[in-house]
A and B are shown apart, each in its own frame.
Chain A
Amino acid sequence: MGDYIFNGVLYLIAIGFLIFSFVKDKKKTKMALKKAWKAFENLLPMLLGIIIVVGIIIAILNPQMIAKLIGKNSGFLGVLILAVIGAVALIPGFIAFPTAALLLNAGAGYMQIGAFISTLMMVGVITIPLEITYFGKKVTIIRNILAFAFSFLVAFVIGKVVG
Chain B
Amino acid sequence: MKIFKRYLFFIIALVLLGIVFIFNVSMGIKAVSTLTYSLKEMAMVLPPIFILLGLLDVWISKEKMMKYVGEGSGIKGIIIVFIIGSVAAGPLYAAFPVAAVLMKKGAKFSNVLIFIGAWSTTKIPMFLFEMSSMGAKFAITRLLIDIPGIIIIAYAIYFMISKKERERIYRLDAKNPDTI
Using CB atoms and an 8 Å cutoff, list the residues of chain A in contact with chain B: 1-3, 5-7, 10-11, 13-15, 17-18, 21, 28-29, 31-43, 45-56, 58-60, 90, 92-95, 97-98, 100-101, 104, 110, 113-114, 117-118, 121-122, 124, 127, 129-131, 133-136, 138-139, 142-143, 146-147, 150, 153-154, 157-158, 161-162
Contact = CB atoms under 8 A, between A and B. Distances in A.
B31 A35 contact: no
A101 B134 contact: yes
B55 A18 contact: yes
B28 A136 contact: no
Nearest to A159: B141
Interface in B102-127: 113, 116-117, 120-121, 124-126
B63 interface: no
B84 interface: no
B139 to A, nearest CB: 9
Interface in B132-174: 132-135, 137-138, 141-142, 145-146, 149, 153, 156-157, 160-161, 165, 168-169, 172-173
A147 B166 CA distance: 20
A135 B176 CA distance: 12
Contacts of A143: 113, 116, 153, 157
